[in-house]
Amino acid sequence: MNTPQDLRYTEDHEWLRKDGQVGVTDFAQDQLGDVVFVELPEVGRQLKKGEAFGVVESVKSVSDLFAPVAGKVAKVNQELVDHPELINQDPYGSGWLIALEGVDADDAAGLLDAAAYLSQQEGGH
Amino acid sequence: MRFSPHTAEDRAAMLKVIGAERVDDLFADIPRSVRLNRPLNLPAGLPEMEVRRLLTSLAQRNADGDQMVSFLGGGAYDRYIPSVIGEMLRRSEFYTSYTPYQAEISQGTLQVIFEFQSLIAILTGMDLAQASLYDGATAVAEGAMLAYGHTGRRRVVVARSVDPQYRAVLRTYAEGHDLEVVEAPLRDGRADPDEVRRLAENAACVIVQHPNFLGLLEEPEALCEAAHAAGALYIAVQDPISLAVLRPPGEYGADVAVGEGQPLGIPVSFGGPYLGYMGVKQDYLRRIPGRIVGETTDHDGRKGYVLTFQTREQHIRRERATSNICTNQGLMALAATIYVSLMGPRGMRQAAALSIEGAHQLADALEGSGFRRAFAGPFGSELALRSPVDANALGATLRRSGILGPLDLARLYPELEGHILLSVTERRTPEEIDRLVKALREVAA
Amino acid sequence: MNTIFDEHEAGRGTSYLPEREIDLARYLPRSALRAELALPELAEIQVVRHFTGLSRRNHGVDSGFYPLGSCTMKYNPKINEDTARLPGFASAHPYQSEETVQGALQLMWELQQDLQEITGMDAVSLQPAAGAQGEFTGILMIRAYHRLRGDEGRTQVIIPDSAHGTNPATAAMAGFEVVHVPSDERGGVDLDALHAVVSEKTAALMLTNPNTLGLFDERIQEIAQVVHGAGGLLYYDGANLNAVLGRSRPGDMGFDVVHLNLHKTFSTPHGGGGPGSGPVGVKAALKDFLPMPTVTQRADGSYGLDYEIPHSIGQMRSFYGNFGMLVRAYTYIRSLGGEGLLGVADDAVLNANYLLARLRGSFYEPYDRTPKHEFVIAPPRDLKKETGVRTLDIAKRLLDFSVHPPTVYFPLIVDEAMMLEPTETETRETLDAFADILLGILKEAQEDPEVVKTAPHDTVVGRLDEAKAVRAPRLRETLGA
């Protein structure tokens, strides 16, 4: 399972990049199976840490998406509307979900690093 | 026990494999205090021959539309059912199967539903349809829930000319979400577009039946526009037979089309089982309640059908599902699919046209009889009349002439004291209509 | 296989009605009329072959074993099909006057009485169209009950984590907040957890007993005490009533409201997914909230429809219920009598335990208890890791042997669950043959996992691409498309 070193992670299997981009992890996309639908927030919405901002659906599951940190939605990945399978194909790249702005650096630093995320996976799942 | 295959030897051998002495042991964990320590107080079981006799004698205590001439309608219609339907409905691969969870061995049911969805979409003129709902009344209620989910508005406007039972069920369903149900009053038996425009302010939807319960044609174009002007969805309720000749909801801009599919080859059967249908515009796909079947392929590229968009449903989304409905009315949807396949466009139109013609001939023949048309507007195959005599007494008199009907409108619309509703279907011959006219004229004289 | 649209040929058709020419413009405004009606046109023989062909692409109880847990796929007696089609039933109009439908009303009244006796409740409504609607009816009644008492703060419905998805969906539809309660290590409701979640906000607990694991919750009376003690009511999901017919009644267990599934317990056919029928029974305290109308016996012995229900929640659907299903269930109950119904439960539980005994040791058994009419097992815990074979694969491989797979991945609390309900109408030989097939597949999974993972091989289609069905939806056909 791919877990890039330069990202921060949450226990809900989401990642945050330094530039504010948010997505789901390789582990999460594998657990979900074929993603068929993604519901994303409006640009400009202010999110609290842990707030549900969208939904990702596979054929037989629905999962809420939670903001890893507080921030304002600056961009959403419109490509996913027609190509939700990008989440499966490239979870850390073209399968990104939203980009946040105004993210507090300390908030981001408080998330799991790759090693911690990996050990959590082994322990919990 | 009648349907058990086990012999005493079977049971003994099975208990031995289980490692139990008696069947009672298998129930040992049910606390004594909640056991029923006496036989159920029910009549003793009967062999098939006697069960048949019992049921036949009960059935014979009913009058029915096969031995009588029925002019009863009001949401359930005595229409002609081609023989093929009964024959096909008894194919046990259809009726002894369940919801098609295992697509590979349920292609029959799945394809039937796909074809049903297609036919409903065509009849209603909507983009797509789902696999069916319990009946017309619950389809109306589910339509309102869809509109509430989409708009977030809690007010539902329904024309008083909509089937009273549909309105009653709508109120029951609305209770759960604390929705406010507002009725657009009757004006000469119909909904008034100006009134609807006023009421639709801040409403989730406007629900209109056309032709309405009193048999009259509404003005769906104007009503739909009134709803949309207020940002409300328009929910069209139509008899599917009437859809063969009247402009379909999709053409005049309805958002949701619902109705009762019973007229499509399903017997009146004392009120059920019937068949609710729902067609919607593409935009509402993810808000639709119940099952949807879609076409796809297997790994070898063979075409096949699956239940799809299941994440809307209760077994996945649980408390956030679009509805709690699980099963649809599968076998009834099969009946309707076969019916439309057999009748084709000409048969469907002819069923509608014969009914409308019969109702108009009846209206003409009653001119000057004392039974007068209650409302002025154009009507379809049902006729609301003011009766010069008590509706109950009238029913009893007609029964002696072998006629079932009329429907006493006062029991459904208190303000329509002394009004009756007569329904004509393609099954009613000119001779039968004459017989009714004669009987009514005699009563009035 | 072709669709009816593929079979279309303009001009084809069979006449079922008089063919005289009718000009509708004589009667209706032209603006109201439809111009085009693009429906397929087929000859009768095409229609018959088409639907016969489709029926052969289906597996029903009459085709073979159908151990679909929680659905009670028992044999559907053919006499039921005959009686429901008697003209006096099938052709009776729901608006006929009461004196012309005394036979139908008597049948309904007797069925209400029978279901009261079977469930231990005080009153029954036959109106709900299906189990899910029965649930909705029951929960709306509970809501109305609390509200009438001015107890409006009861906003929560408690539901075990093993529950069927309709339970939470229903509670939400009735405006309640859903509170989940976990199961304990014996598969029952965790009493400590229950104590922790009940409060003055509790409107009801929804429970299936035996539960979805097929296990009878022995502490049902304590559970009832906890819920009643907090002022809540107890709702019985009748999905598993087949297991306890004549042995134990929900009314005696402490339940206040029950719904039944006539298509499960009382042999009415499942119809490819409906029509069902979901009567609701209540204790006396809730009688005044029943939906309208119920059937009553009048002083002169005649039967009538009763609309005088003081606090009725209203009407759940048009008319009085899925009457055709009621006729079938009544026929079944009269065929069996009380003793026969007890025999149903006995053989249903015997068959489940026999099948489990045949599979014991080879499959993982999450609870070491005597199940009732159904049981939950899973493949051996290391199978997936070693071979990649999952429950879904085993289910799909079963299709190659012309049996319907069990319910899979439910209940949610058992990983890789398979839920088997053989029902009472199956022979010992059928159970043996099925056990042999299942054990054979397990062996095959170890020896040749690819065969299992790519199953089914002998069905009309293979595993279908469900993701494609959503990503590129094709939900209807159009003529000439």
> Which DSSP string do the residues of C386-405 spell out, in sequence order?
HH---HHHHHHHHHTTT-PP
pLDDT (tens digit per residue) in B263-288: 999 999 999 999 999 999 999 999 99
Chain-chain contact of C463 with B104 (C-beta, under 8 angstroms) = yes
What residues of B are in contact with residue A37 (Cβ under 8 Å)?
311
Q: Do the beta carbons of residue B186 and residue B137 sit within 8 Å?
A: no
What residues of B are in contact with residue A64 (Cβ under 8 Å)?
none
- Beta strand C202-207 with C156-160 is parallel
Q: Nearest Cα to B182, choosing from B164, B206, B166?
A: B206
- The CA distance from A15 to A117, in Å, is 10
Q: Do the beta carbons of residue C167 and residue C198 sit within 8 Å?
A: no
pLDDT for residue A62: 86
Of C18, C24, C404, the CB nearest to B102: C404
- The CA distance from C89 to B55, in Å, is 10
**B296 shares contact with chain A (CB less than 8 Å):** no
pLDDT band at B431 (very low <50, low <70, confident <90, very high): very high
For tokens 């996309």, the residue is A29
Q: Do the beta carbons of residue B18 and residue C353 sit within 8 Å?
A: yes
pLDDT for residue A122: 67
Tally of domains within chain C: 2
Here the CATH number for the domain that contains residue C150 is 3.40.640.10
**Any domain includes C193:** yes
- SS3 category, C360: strand
Among A57, A63, A81, which would you mutate to test the B interface (most chain B Cβ atoms within 10 Å of its Cβ)? Answer: A57
What residues of A are in contact with residue C467 (Cβ under 8 Å)?
33-34, 36, 58-59, 85
What residues of C are in contact with residue A59 (Cβ under 8 Å)?
466-467, 469-470
Same-domain pairing of C358 and C312: no
Among C51, C81, C107, which would you mutate to test the B interface (most chain B Cβ atoms within 10 Å of its Cβ)? Answer: C51
Domains and CATH numbers, chain B: 69-81+344-444 (3.90.1150.10), 84-337 (3.40.640.10)
- How far does the CA of residue B423 sit from the closest CA of chain A (Å)? 47
Identify the domain boundary among C289, C317, C335: C335
Sheet holding A8-9, edge to edge: A8-9, A14-16, A21-24, A98-101, A71-76, A46-47
Of C26, C164, C347, the CB nearest to B1: C347
- Beta strand A52-58 with C303-306 is unpaired
**Any domain includes C66:** no
Residue B45 tokens, joined = 């079981």
CB pairs under 8 A between A and C: 16
- The CA distance from A67 to A69, in Å, is 5
Calculate the alpha carbon distances from B4 to A30, B96, B405, C76, C347 in Å.
Answer: 47, 18, 45, 12, 7
pLDDT (tens digit per residue) in C425-472: 999 999 999 999 999 999 999 999 999 999 999 999 999 999 999 999
**C464 shares contact with chain A (CB less than 8 Å):** no
**Any domain includes C47:** no
- Count of all residues that appear for chain C in the document: 481
Chain-chain contact of C320 with B270 (C-beta, under 8 angstroms) = yes
Question: How many of the other CB atoms lie within 10 Å of CB of B365?
Answer: 18
pLDDT for residue C49: 98
pLDDT (tens digit per residue) in B229-260: 999 999 999 999 999 999 999 999 999 999 99
**C460 shares contact with chain A (CB less than 8 Å):** no
Residue B437 tokens, joined = 């006219």
Partners of chain B (3+ Cβ pairs below 8 A): A, C
Partners of chain A (3+ Cβ pairs below 8 A): B, C
Domain that holds residue C435: 343-466
**C107 shares contact with chain B (CB less than 8 Å):** yes
pLDDT for residue C120: 98
Same-domain pairing of C154 and C206: yes
Among A30, A32, A35, A36, which would you mutate to test the C interface (most chain C Cβ atoms within 10 Å of its Cβ)? Answer: A36
Q: Do the beta carbons of residue C92 and residue B62 sit within 8 Å?
A: yes
Chain-chain contact of C57 with B107 (C-beta, under 8 angstroms) = yes
Same-domain pairing of C347 and C430: yes
Interface list for chain A against chain B, based on CB atoms closer than 8 Å: 37, 57, 59-62
pLDDT for residue B2: 80
- How far does the CA of residue A7 sit from the closest CA of chain B (Å)? 31
Here the CATH number for the domain that contains residue C408 is 3.90.1150.10
Same-domain pairing of C376 and C273: no
Q: Nearest Cα to B312, choosing from A31, C473, C137?
A: C473
Of C131, C340, C463, the CB nearest to B1: C340
CA-CA-CA-CA dihedral for B342, B345, B346, B348, to nearest 10: 70
- Please, which residues bridge with residue C123 across strands? C282
pLDDT (tens digit per residue) in B366-403: 999 999 999 999 999 999 999 999 998 999 999 999 99
Between positions 254 and 293 of C, the ones with CB within 8 A of B are 254, 267, 269-277, 291
Q: Do the beta carbons of residue C339 and residue C247 sit within 8 Å?
A: no
Which helix (H) or strand (E) covers residue C358, if one does?
helix C323-359
Q: Report which DSSP code applies to A41.
A: P
Q: Do the beta carbons of residue B155 and residue B207 sit within 8 Å?
A: no
- Please, which residues bridge with residue C39 across strands? none
Q: Do the beta carbons of residue B43 and residue C110 sit within 8 Å?
A: no
pLDDT for residue B388: 96
Residue A118 tokens, joined = 């990996």
Same-domain pairing of C347 and C303: no
Chain-chain contact of C68 with B176 (C-beta, under 8 angstroms) = no
**Any domain includes C229:** yes
Among A38, A62, A63, which would you mutate to test the B interface (most chain B Cβ atoms within 10 Å of its Cβ)? Answer: A62
A88, closest residue in chain C (CA to CA): C467
**C338 shares contact with chain B (CB less than 8 Å):** yes
Q: Nearest Cα to C187, choosing from C216, C164, C152, C207?
A: C216
Same-domain pairing of C353 and C435: yes
What residues of A are in contact with residue C466 (Cβ under 8 Å)?
34, 59-60
The residues, ordered by sequence, that sit 6+ positions from B24 with a Cβ below 8 Å of its Cβ are: none
Same-domain pairing of C231 and C254: yes
CB pairs under 8 A between B and C: 668
Of B308, B314, B349, the CB nearest to C473: B308
Q: Do the beta carbons of residue C256 and residue C285 sit within 8 Å?
A: yes
Chain-chain contact of B96 with C270 (C-beta, under 8 angstroms) = yes
Same-domain pairing of C87 and C208: yes
Domains and CATH numbers, chain A: 8-124 (2.40.50.100)
Same-domain pairing of C290 and C414: no
Chain-chain contact of A61 with B317 (C-beta, under 8 angstroms) = no
Chain-chain contact of A59 with B310 (C-beta, under 8 angstroms) = yes
**C473 shares contact with chain A (CB less than 8 Å):** no
Report the percentage of chain B scoring pLDDT > 90.
93
Of B26, B48, B326, the CB nearest to C370: B26
**Any domain includes C6:** no
Identify the domain boundary among C277, C310, C335: C335
pLDDT (tens digit per residue) in B157-166: 999 999 999 9
**Any domain includes C260:** yes
pLDDT (tens digit per residue) in B72-105: 999 999 999 999 999 999 999 999 999 999 999 9
C97, closest residue in chain B (CA to CA): B395
Q: Nearest Cα to A98, choosing from A116, A71, A125, A122?
A: A71
pLDDT band at A123 (very low <50, low <70, confident <90, very high): low
Chain-chain contact of B316 with A37 (C-beta, under 8 angstroms) = no
Residue C438 tokens, joined = 């299942």
For chain C, which residues score pLDDT lower than 50?
none
Same-domain pairing of C209 and C141: yes
- How far does the CA of residue B126 sit from the closest CA of chain A (Å)? 23
**Any domain includes C8:** no
- The CA distance from B386 to B370, in Å, is 8
- How far does the CA of residue B29 sit from the closest CA of chain A (Å)? 35
- The CA distance from B10 to A119, in Å, is 55
The residues, ordered by sequence, that sit 6+ positions from C147 with a Cβ below 8 Å of its Cβ are: none
Among B96, B213, B354, which would you mutate to test the C interface (most chain C Cβ atoms within 10 Å of its Cβ)? Answer: B96
**B317 shares contact with chain A (CB less than 8 Å):** yes
What residues of C are in contact with residue B135 (Cβ under 8 Å)?
129, 317-318
- The CA distance from B232 to B238, in Å, is 19
- How far does the CA of residue A91 sit from the closest CA of chain B (Å)? 22
Residue type, B381: S
**Any domain includes C129:** yes
Same-domain pairing of C268 and C225: yes
* 3-state secondary structure labels for all residues of chain B: CCCCCCCHHHHHHHHHHHCCCCHHHHHCCCCHHHECCCCCCCCCCCCHHHHHHHHHHHHHCECCCCCCEECCCCCCCCCCCCHHHHHHHCCHHHHCCCCCCCHHHEHHHHHHHHHHHHHHHHHHCCCEECCCECCHHHHHHHHHHHHHHHHCCCEEEEECCCCHHHHHHHHHHHHHCCCEEEEECCECCECCHHHHHHHCCCEEEEEEECCCCCCECCCHHHHHHHHHHCCCEEEEECCCCHHHCECCCCCCCCCEEEEECCCCCCCCHHHCCCCEEEEECHHHHHHCCCCCEEEEEECCCCEEEEECCHHHCHHHHHHHCCCCCCCCCHHHHHHHHHHHHHHHHHHHHHHHHHHHHHHHHHHHHCCCCCCEECCCCCECCEEEEECCCCHHHHHHHHHHCCEECCEEHHHCCHHHCCEEEEECCCCCCHHHHHHHHHHHHHHHC
B320, closest residue in chain A (CA to CA): A62
CB pairs under 8 A between A and B: 13
- The CA distance from B212 to B246, in Å, is 13
Same-domain pairing of C163 and C292: yes
Between positions 64 and 123 of A, the ones with CB within 8 A of C are 84-85
- How far does the CA of residue B193 sit from the closest CA of chain A (Å)? 36
Identify the domain boundary among C310, C335, C360: C335
pLDDT band at A124 (very low <50, low <70, confident <90, very high): very low
Using only C-alpha atoms, chain B has a radius of gyration, in whole angstroms, of 25
**Sign of the four-CA dihedral B5, B9, B10, B11:** positive
- How far does the CA of residue C383 sit from the closest CA of chain B (Å)? 23
